[in-house]
Amino acid sequence: MRTSYHTDFLNLEQTFFYLKPNNMLRTTNLCPIHFRSFFTMKFIYLCLLSVFIISSTGCLKEGCTDPTAVNYDPSATSDDGSCSFAGCTDMSACNYDPNALNNDGSCVFPPCDGTSSTRPFSLCDDVTSPLTLSNDPDAEVDYVINCWLDIYADVTVEPGTVITFAQDAGIAVWEGGSLQAVGTPDAIIEFRGQESIKGFWAAIRFGSNTVKNELNYVLVRDGGSASYYSSEPDAQIFLPDDSRLNLSNSTIDNGNLYGFSAYEQASFVYSNNTINNHNSFPVAISAAVVGMIDGTSSSYAGNVNNAIYVWEDDVTNDQTWPAQQIPYQLEGKWVNVNAALTLAPGVTIQFEEGGGMAIWDDASINAVGNMQSPIIIRGVEPLPGYWAGIRMESNSLNNVFDFVEVSDGGSESYYFSEPDALIFITNGRLAISNSSFNNSLNHGLATYDDGVVSAFANNTFNGNQANPIYTFASRIGDYTNASPSTFTANADNTIRVKKNSVDVNQTWYDAGIPYKVESGWVSIDAAVTIQAGTEFVFEEDCGMAIWNTGSLNANGTASNVITFTGVQAVAGYWNGLRFDSTSPNNVLNNCVVSYAGRASYYFSEPDANVFAHAGLLSVTNSTISHSLHCGLAIDNGASVDYSDLNFTNNVDGNVCF
């Protein structure tokens, strides 16, 4: 407060001015005494001095001085009428407080006298202050919602409360709001239609990201007629992006399309729920959030499509897909996995037509089932090529298939130039054991030269319409047979081998079916050992060349010979074996080499089943037959030890120098 005064020297009258805190100017006529004498002047002086001292030291502060008010100011010395009190501000409540300016969530709604004569209450206005919906045990229905009820504040629903919806009505929880409906096993909270018709009312849409959002021991039924926005899925409970919900111990029943649906950036807890009797899927969610669904503690029955429907969004967070009582049904598009994905024992995934899964650089897939609970990956329909396949481009050591059954795919690769197969590995790795690959439209398993099968044991390939395995020559050594795999009823029951250079030492194992070499000469630039009993068949114009840095040790037995022959039993069908290596490990023992001699590696060289251009070679106890030209050709620079050979039907002679 600022103060001043002035003196009227004509009338010698003193006027005192002061400014109140609200800046309104007030004046007071103090000591109106006329000048008459010296005494009088002295009196005036003392009077004015006293007023000045009092006015300057006695400052006032106005504010709320009531300690019970929410804006109480303990430093205020004068009450200015600004006090604000908290209480129930809803005029329809039993405890409405007309003096309350701030709602404290204490409202209690009729009936105030304990009767149910005024129930149900209609709810349609936006909820902008905290609200509690109470249960009247004597009322059949507590509240009716006739519109989209928009919630912008905290709403609590008490156990046992029954809320019904008019046709196409619903609840939308917005940022700043929450819906907490926590019942008990003996006092379920109900959200249902005024009529028990699928899709009678719309939905409960949670659009806020708060841990307060909870549906626990709740029954939701008769909804799903429409979403808040036309682009969103029609579900009884829907979570858009950046929303949150705890849905537990609840039942969702009798819905139009979906029971529960969530987008890729939603966050939720989901456990021990029952979702029955929907016209489509009980659950429809993004692939990014499948790991938030619980496993077999939830149940699903009576839905037209009794599976968990999964949209093709990218998987960007590490997660485990738990086993369910029903399959996961993946949309007919490619799901891109960019995180660590684990499939629990007993998981079943079924792809819609054209769907597939790609595991990328920094990701992994770990699918480890067991004999009692295998992991099943199949098509919605059991048709060859119904879905695309799984593409592996990850080098993670966590990539494992064990007790996995894959079927009905192989329709197309991710990129047009890649082979079509149930599983395709490029620039990645996968350990495969105790698994089956069946009913592919093309290959069962395919790998590029940079695709590693890091373990291979006890697998089954059956009924694939091309080869069970398609690979490169440099990867033949991946297919071990310590625990032999089986190959039956495949259209081309061979392991198809595309030619390239073998530059890593390895053993080629007897797979029980032939390796079929295609597309030209296989170059061996490392030490290769071939197990007894192994069989190679060559397409036209194909052959095998062993260079100076490599070697070929094919040491069979009398009862388990190693075979090199043509796809067709026609003299000169394939080119032959060419040796240009000085390694003492170059051995053909108890081998059969037949139907070659078509063409040499270089035009000027002799055509033969076996040609030694230089270096060392031992050929013993073997059969060389049906060459279009020479059986065994030896150049001047080669040192060949040959004995106990059986030559048959070689057109230009058995041994040529």
Bridge-based pairing state of the strands 13-19 and 25-30: antiparallel
In a domain, 636, yes or no: yes
In a domain, 291, yes or no: yes
Helices and strands: H and E segment counts in the chain? 1, 65
In a domain, 432, yes or no: no
On whether both 225 and 120 belong to a single domain, the answer is: yes
Among residues 567, 522, 527, the alpha carbon closest in space to that of 551 is found at 527
**Can you tell me the distance from the alpha carbon of 398 to that of 385, in angstroms, rounded to the nearest whole number?**
27
In a domain, 615, yes or no: yes
Structure-token match 């109140």, residue found: 20
On whether both 124 and 55 belong to a single domain, the answer is: no
Contact (CB, 8 A) for 80 and 63: yes
In a domain, 438, yes or no: no
Which residues form the domain of 35?
A: 3-60
**Can you tell me the distance from the alpha carbon of 654 to that of 623, in angstroms, rounded to the nearest whole number?**
11
pLDDT tens digits for range 521-544: 999 999 999 999 999 999 999 999
Structure-token match 């879905």, residue found: 387
**Can you tell me the distance from the alpha carbon of 424 to that of 445, in angstroms, rounded to the nearest whole number?**
6
On whether both 31 and 144 belong to a single domain, the answer is: no
**Can you tell me the distance from the alpha carbon of 69 to that of 449, in angstroms, rounded to the nearest whole number?**
79
Average pLDDT for residues 236-256, to the nearest whole number? 98
**Number of Cβ within a 10 Å radius of residue 208:** 21
Q: Looking at the DSSP assignment, which residues form a beta bridge with residue 528? A: 506, 552
On whether both 633 and 504 belong to a single domain, the answer is: yes
On whether both 216 and 123 belong to a single domain, the answer is: yes
Final residue belonging to a domain, choices 45, 60, 75: 60
pLDDT tens digits for range 543-561: 999 999 999 999 999 999 9
In a domain, 434, yes or no: no
**Can you tell me the distance from the alpha carbon of 233 to that of 210, in angstroms, rounded to the nearest whole number?**
22
* pLDDT classification of 622: cutoffs 50, 70, 90: very high
Structure-token match 């481009």, residue found: 393
In a domain, 264, yes or no: yes
Reported as type and span, the H/E element at residue 474 is: none
**Number of Cβ within a 10 Å radius of residue 323:** 17
Bridge-based pairing state of the strands 162-165 and 189-193: parallel
Final residue belonging to a domain, choices 261, 288, 311: 311
On whether both 49 and 154 belong to a single domain, the answer is: no
Final residue belonging to a domain, choices 271, 288, 311: 311
pLDDT tens digits for range 98-151: 878 777 877 766 556 544 448 999 999 999 999 999 999 999 999 999 999 999
Per-residue confidence (pLDDT) for residue 99, from 0 to 100: 78
On whether both 297 and 157 belong to a single domain, the answer is: yes
**Can you tell me the distance from the alpha carbon of 103 to that of 230, in angstroms, rounded to the nearest whole number?**
35
On whether both 276 and 160 belong to a single domain, the answer is: yes
pLDDT tens digits for range 460-511: 999 999 999 999 999 999 999 999 999 999 999 999 999 999 999 999 999 9
For residue 51, what are its two tokens? Answer: 């007023």
**Number of Cβ within a 10 Å radius of residue 89:** 19
pLDDT tens digits for range 56-109: 444 578 889 988 888 888 988 888 888 888 888 776 677 888 878 777 877 766
**Can you tell me the distance from the alpha carbon of 159 to that of 214, in angstroms, rounded to the nearest whole number?**
13
In a domain, 460, yes or no: no
Q: What share of the chain is helix, strand, coil (3-state, %, to 5)?
A: 5, 45, 50
> For 69-200, where are the E strands, in sequence order?
78-79, 85-87, 100-103, 121-123, 131-133, 143-145, 148-151, 154-157, 162-165, 170-173, 178-182, 189-193
Number of domains forming the structure of the chain: 3
On whether both 124 and 43 belong to a single domain, the answer is: no
Contact (CB, 8 A) for 605 and 574: no
On whether both 114 and 216 belong to a single domain, the answer is: yes
Structure-token match 């709602």, residue found: 103
State in Å, rounded, how far the first CA of the chain is from the last one. 125
On whether both 526 and 634 belong to a single domain, the answer is: yes
On whether both 52 and 184 belong to a single domain, the answer is: no
Among residues 565, 535, 537, 539, the alpha carbon closest in space to that of 627 is found at 565
